[in-house]
Chain A
Amino acid sequence: MTSANMNRPIRGGAAAPAALPARGGVGLKPEHFRHILETQPDIGFFEVHAENYMGAGGPFHRYLERIRADYPLSIHGVGLSIGGEDPLDEDHLDRLAALLARYQPESFSEHLAWSSHGGAFFNDLLPAPWHASTLARVCAHIDRVQERLGRHMLLENPATYVEFEVSTMAESDFIAEVVKRTGCGLLLDVNNAYVSCINHHRDVRAYLRALPLAAVGEIHLAGHAREVDAAGAPLLIDSHGAPVAEAVWALYDFALSLVGPQPTLIERDNDIPEFPVLAAEAHQAEIVMARHAKLEAAA
């Protein structure tokens, strides 16, 4: 299928670990631990949320060790607050470093968002204004993360519900500048791009084209929920609680026309179905990838 991509060149030098394969992956949920070990499904990679594996021991580590032995692994942080005004939490960075040393994941990623302020952790990916001081802070934080972890990270574009009057840059330009200054990669969340562009009435294809696409190292796909704002306009919520929407599949197809096949994760965190349902979505992503691989070969 796409096995040639499993050995594609590594960004970041000899010390960097191997990259994720350009295949479909699934977010690893404790509900599916046993099923995965018992059935050994043909899945390109698994992704875990770093913070769930920061306990000292116990079942989570036991299962992850066994599953990781059989599959490529992506570790996805959800608590570093890279966009925050607080200094980076060095204790948390130490925990991340230990986790990465233990599991040697093919990829590490985090979010362009903040979640802590004044020492309190809000457990949500909160938005920041796109302007020079946020840019300086985000770049300083990413520099520190990459220095401490000794590797490049991927930064994920956010799903947002409000915009700030003080913003002076387009989100895509902001991300392009961060990538240029820090050398980090881009985790392109196609659902987030769709959700944000509907919520802020932007042209999502133009948004994608303006992103630093050469830096894409992984793609996320997920489902969203549909609500309306105070004026009755659609307000999409990044719920991760439904199958990937048709419009997002179409946008994924468009994204691959720009970046070619990429490791693609199916994220599901609410109303988690049986594992084969998610595996089928990962397989669907591989079908789209295969089509683009053929197009690339023909070109």
Chain B
Amino acid sequence: MSAAFAYTLLRPEAPCPAGLKTWNGSDPAQRFAVYRNNVIVSLVDALADSFPVVQALVGEDFFRAMAAEFARGTPPRSPVLAWYGTGFADFVADFPPAAGLPYLADVARLEWLRVEAWHAADADPLPLAEMAARLADAAALPALRLTLHPSLRVLRSAHPVVSLWAAHQAEDVSAALGAVDFADAEAALVVRDGLDVDILRIEAGAAEFVDKLLRGAALGEAAQASGPFDLPATLGMLLRSGAIIEAAPARRIS
């Protein structure tokens, strides 16, 4: 019974499952539609909550239709809806009706990182005084490994994703959007600082650097292997955001 129900829930064109009855002999299809509607509307609403800027960019009608298409093909695998939407950005990237907005998928990627950061584990930053103590031995700095906040993520895009996202937080969205230069490639750093998720525009090289730190590289190695960026400003930003939760000498693996 559940199989027939489940099959039909995600297929608007499929007939209502057999074996349903109504007290007055009315067509059960109209009553079954309540369930079919609940499923799609609730999943689309969950996506709309996670991807508000994507929705604003394409408009509610288009977004809901696109999200419904995604939900029918990719229903959640977990009852925890906060985690629903992992593959949405990739879906948007390959969705032909949205092909004229090449930046849309990366805006979705940025919004997904924001969702992940929102729910990531809590961790206290390393107090500045303790940080200072860790820095006392200058010779050991290149081998120092930073443990970053569990919410911290970076995104590098060929599009001005941070400016697009920020424009939708502005009072005058139209004016802010008019000022966006679509030739700009941008990188974003996403981190939860207290109860707020911050989205910061950073240099591409800084994003590379942070990405390497996240993968466990020691400071010297990470800085050396990244494109040009302002190292003091980047470290300062990480400290200010409470993103450094531990700093300890890297253990040599080889």
Which residues from chain A sit less than 8 Å from chain B, CB to CB? 51-52, 54-62, 78-81, 84-85, 89, 92, 95, 114-124, 126-129, 161-166, 199-201, 229-231, 233, 235, 237
Give the Cβ gap from B53 to chain A, nearest Cβ, in Å: 19
A229–B24 CB distance below 8 A? yes
A162–B20 CB distance below 8 A? yes
Given contacts A165-B19, A235-B31, contact A124 B39 (CB under 8 A): yes
A126–B35 CB distance below 8 A? yes
A166 to B20 Cα, complex, angstroms: 9
- Among B26, B42, B122, the residue within 8 A (CB) of A58 is B122
- Among A124, A200, A231, the residue within 8 A (CB) of B25 is A231
- Among B1, B26, B39, B79, the residue within 8 A (CB) of A89 is B79
B38–A124 CB distance below 8 A? yes
- Among A121, A230, A237, the residue within 8 A (CB) of B78 is A121
Central interface residue in A54, A122, A165, by most chain B CB within 10 Å: A122
Given contacts A56-B150, A161-B34, A162-B32, contact A117 B3 (CB under 8 A): yes
Central interface residue in A61, A124, A237, by most chain B CB within 10 Å: A124
A181 to B109 Cα, complex, angstroms: 49
Chain B residue with the shortest CB-CB distance to A56: B121
Chain A residue with the shortest CB-CB distance to B42: A123
B5–A117 CB distance below 8 A? yes
Which residues in B have their C-beta under 8 angstroms from that of A165? 19-21
- Among A58, A79, A117, A237, the residue within 8 A (CB) of B79 is A79
A78–B19 CB distance below 8 A? no
Does chain A have a CB within 8 A of B119? yes
Which residues in B have their C-beta under 8 angstroms from that of A231? 22, 24-27
A51–B19 CB distance below 8 A? no
* A and B contact pairs by CB, cutoff 8 A, 18 listed: A54-B80, A55-B80, A95-B80, A119-B77, A121-B76, A124-B42, A128-B2, A162-B31, A165-B19, A166-B1, A166-B19, A229-B22, A229-B27, A230-B27, A230-B31, A231-B25, A233-B24, A235-B30
Central interface residue in B34, B81, B195, by most chain A CB within 10 Å: B34
Central interface residue in A55, A58, A114, A115, by most chain B CB within 10 Å: A58
